[in-house]
Chains A and B, each alone.
Chain A
């Protein structure tokens, strides 16, 4: 394991050495060590299985150098990296690659400058950093036993499926550049996301538990929640195709944010002219009841970091305020490129996420952190149900994509679990999973808000990069189509 001190020494000594090299106009040295440990579960009561299928990890460290070189009358910029070597020699090898890879990019203005002071301190857990292999594996078995004991208590033992994972992220990084940035960060994250099915009943349930500290991590709770949710939805009914008032639960809200809203609010999409919010800064784009912001400095949230991978303190970036576009997610490069013809935003979202960590071998892209959805008028969950009166509660959706491109806003997905019919403002009966496809448009969703709940929960979806602090949101007139008829579906 590499310590933060080793990373700080690497960037400090490395940058001092680079400063002495002729033709280097400015430089940034980024060093990181990361480990992602995943316990993947697979339990099938009617098929031979392993229970905890894959206790595995990826561990990596190294150094990346971004440098601007004087090349005749021009400035050229290049990036290079070197794995597994934090010595000055490793930094110089990365610099050599940066020199070889240098290009003339007229949109490159400068390296990031120091901005403000980080607010998060000592928010990681040393117990996570030093967790043993045995403890890691046992967390997976805890999650599985949580699910199985819940099924057993209700008398279910056949056609059960339990999947998902217990995952631990450990991240350490340090950064220093010639413009004065000199900082470091350490992060620990624990997540348990469990999916469970009773296939004979055609039901699926999900549960999740997240923490930044080991003593607050309860993977068995995620397992129980998954089983109980599946049991609650036994006896699901089909619905006819049509437009329905719906409540999007926290997982669907997260899926919509991750695949449609957050990408549309990134300057990368603005740069590509591929967002429904192009040239909409300062304009109303949705219901005045909606506010969206990104905040990477929220205490206790698993999407929080002390600084970005450019060394900028994390914090709140307002994106939509009372229905009006007020900002975009950005890193330093896109902010400087577009500030002359758009506006300047604080670059609080320049991260190098890949392979389950802050990867030294890539330049920053734009990534959300904790995306928070708020309502101007928020109400309790039960009141939201009564507002809808008659419709569908959607608890989990799947494969949500902007099928005609982000800018058009059309999206589709299927309802796969945790969902109910609503009648007279109450949950009437479960909805049959995998039998309804949503065909709608994100602009329709954002402009037809009925209500937003006060209670929010940090939520993750598979493959998602961001954490969404998600409420439940009721929307009027969403198109739902009945799919997978009895003759073509194997579900009972």
Chain B
């Protein structure tokens, strides 16, 4: 089978093989270089400027098709450089472009969706081919939409003829909530242009960092590094008249380290630096305020220390735990972020990523009810810096800060135009696709626990007997996110307000509401960290999102070996 899976090794592959070529998009003006006797153009982000008219023309064409109700087109280009290394040895590098597009059409008597997407290349820019490619693709999506609408009509008739009207009433035509249709451009600035960085410099930094990681100790069995730096541009246009052109930089470094002491089980850790910025991310302009080298060495030293630590033992009863911002990044992602995505809320992800513990039905849900301690608030804000930063989503909807939980009360969900219409809400611009070739999904943006007022050192100092849970590792969450087990990189015993013994392979587990209600202290050390590999959809899309929050104190059971 050829479906992708989110795992560490596939994460590495997805970051450094796929991302550099497919999950990228942006163009440049044509710039000919000579290969033997053949002249080939190089794709750069400026190419978007030369294909806008073709995209707009194709969308206008889609509007002329019979019973066509809506159409949109996303086309993206990226320029990127990637490299990766193991134990000081180069393992690969690449400088390339990504170029792809996807279309959506609502058509048919009983309006239904149809989609199509494909990568593009230099050959598609010859003559007027690109316009033809766009139009043919819209026609394919249109044909699917019409066939889909017919299928729905047929099923409805069949159900009604059998007297099964209670099964048929839910089947309706697609409705999209109205939006403020915009024509706009948006650009995230950067200090060091990824395009100006020499490919060999990307590789050399990689090999140097992994060599120094390996050199820390003979107990370091494996030291892997990977870097991506690039720029991504995406054009959105719709039959409603939206024309949006956005450009963002992206720079990311990943480390994967395995250490082993004597005959003990190996200890591994994966972590990443990243932001929608230029090369400066790897020089210290990131949430850790560390260069890529210092970050990698810190994580490597920690892993070596952990390889000799005692395994944490599970507890049968909840204990006091203080969780740090890095750990809370994954916690908010799993138990607040995902269940406030409106497609999950409306059961659309039941077969895959699951439902939401916040919403059973229109007359039985947690909206307006207390789901967390009054000290807890949570938001999703694409207008702030972080991996989930943008001005317009993949439906051309202006991005908004969404209030999810305020003072413990559930307030709202991230949505799409379709889910907003069903929920009778205003669209808040939360639809994104990993690549234009894929359909957009409701996605977290920068989704976080809000900052508090307490000094985190004081929060720890008040604990007589408890545990400090530092840095997220691997999650496992229940189907509706109502229960979680998340492991941490490190767990420290807290005794009389001080961190004492270090444990490995530990974490916490709790019912989500129980944990959120137990929170009795919220720190003032708010931070947003990058999550580069959030898996959702079918076929699975691996999306980058920003998550975070401050230090929290609550109660949960410890998990261990």
Contacts and interface: CB of A to CB of B under 8 A. Distances in A.
B343 to A, nearest CB: 9
A87 B505 CA distance: 53
Interface in B387-433: 422
A107 B222 CA distance: 15
B179 to A, nearest CB: 19
Given A42-B347, A483-B511, A84 B140 contact: no
A85 B121 contact: yes
Interface string B257-285: 01010000111100000000000000000
Contact of A403 (B22, B117, B507): B507
Contacts of A65: none
B420 to A, nearest CB: 12
A106 B89 contact: yes
A407 B265 contact: yes
Contacts of A165: 351, 538
B333 interface: no
B35 interface: yes
B3 interface: yes
B112 to A, nearest CB: 6
A355 B17 CA distance: 12
Nearest to A42: B348
Interface stretch (B148-156, B242-250, B291-299): B148-156
Contacts of B366: 490
Interface in A475-492: 481, 483-485, 487-491
B360 interface: yes
Interface string A268-289: 1101111010100000000000
A200 B535 CA distance: 28
A268 B96 CA distance: 25
A70 interface: no
Nearest to B81: A101
A269 B147 contact: no
B241 interface: no
A271 B95 contact: no
A45 B18 contact: no
Interface string A348-369: 0001011111110111010000
Contact of B2 (A358, A400, A407): A358
Interface stretch (B48-56, B168-176, B455-463): B168-176
Interface stretch (B157-165, B185-193, B519-527, B546-554): B157-165
A149 B119 CA distance: 39
A83 B120 contact: yes
Nearest to A463: B5
A179 interface: no
B476 A414 contact: yes
B478 A90 contact: no
Interface string A127-141: 000000110111011
Query: At the interface, is chain B mostly helix, strand, loop or mixed?
Result: mixed
A52 B349 CA distance: 13
B358 to A, nearest CB: 8
Contact of B478 (A42, A88, A405, A483): A483
A163 B115 contact: no
Interface residues of B, number: 126
A47 B144 CA distance: 23
A467 B3 CA distance: 10
A273 B221 CA distance: 6
A446 interface: no
Contact of A140 (B91, B151, B351): B151
B482 A484 contact: yes
Contacts of A87: 123
Interface stretch (B6-14, B63-71, B444-452): B6-14
B90 interface: yes
B93 A405 contact: no
Contacts of B268: 272, 274, 405-407
B122 A93 contact: yes
Given A83-B120, A404-B487, A54 B7 contact: no
Query: At the interface, is chain A mostly helix, strand, loop or mixed?
Result: mixed
A77 B8 CA distance: 25
Interface string A182-221: 0000000100011101010000100000000000000000
A412 B95 CA distance: 39
Nearest to A98: B94
Interface string B335-368: 0000000000011111110100101111010100
Contacts of A194: 351
A163 B349 contact: yes
Contacts of A401: 474-476
Interface stretch (A55-63, A385-393, A419-427): A55-63
A258 to B, nearest CB: 7
Contacts of A140: 148, 151
B224 interface: yes
A136 B221 CA distance: 49
Contacts of A404: 473-474, 487, 504-505, 561
Contacts of B473: 403-404
A141 B351 contact: no
Contact of A490 (B476, B482, B514): B482
Interface string B1-35: 11111111110011001100110000000000101
Interface string B474-513: 1111111011011100000000000000001101010111
B474 A464 contact: no
Nearest to A107: B89
B177 interface: no
B266 A273 contact: yes
Contact of B155 (A51, A95, A460): A51
Nearest to A48: B172
B123 A303 contact: no
A330 interface: no
B203 interface: yes
Contacts of B350: 161, 163, 195, 197, 204
B148 A52 contact: yes
B38 A362 contact: no
A345 interface: no
Interface stretch (A114-122, A150-158, A245-253, A317-325): A150-158
Contacts of B159: 148
Nearest to B83: A103
Nearest to A99: B35
Contact of A56 (B91, B116, B224): B116
B164 A157 contact: yes
B46 interface: no
B314 interface: yes
A354 B162 contact: no
A193 B91 CA distance: 38
Given A79-B94, A103-B93, A401-B474, A163 B348 contact: yes
A133 B140 contact: yes
A307 interface: no
Given A105-B92, A355-B4, 19 more contacts: A43-B171, A49-B172, A56-B115, A60-B118, A84-B119, A95-B35, A96-B40, A133-B144, A140-B148, A141-B155, A273-B258, A399-B476, A403-B473, A414-B476, A437-B478, A463-B4, A463-B5, A464-B5, A465-B3
18 contacts: A43-B171, A48-B172, A84-B120, A97-B95, A144-B155, A157-B166, A161-B347, A197-B347, A399-B479, A403-B474, A403-B476, A408-B265, A408-B505, A439-B559, A460-B1, A485-B514, A488-B513, A488-B514
Interface of B: 1-10, 13-14, 17-18, 21-22, 33, 35-36, 38, 40, 86, 89-96, 99, 112-124, 140, 143-145, 147-148, 150-152, 154-155, 158-159, 162, 164, 166-167, 170-172, 174-175, 199, 203, 221-222, 224, 256, 258, 260, 265-268, 314, 316, 346-352, 354, 357, 359-362, 364, 366, 422, 437-439, 473-480, 482-483, 485-487, 504-505, 507, 509, 511-514, 535, 538-540, 559, 561
Nearest 7 CB-CB pairs, A to B?
A163-B351, A56-B115, A83-B121, A195-B351, A84-B121, A273-B221, A404-B505
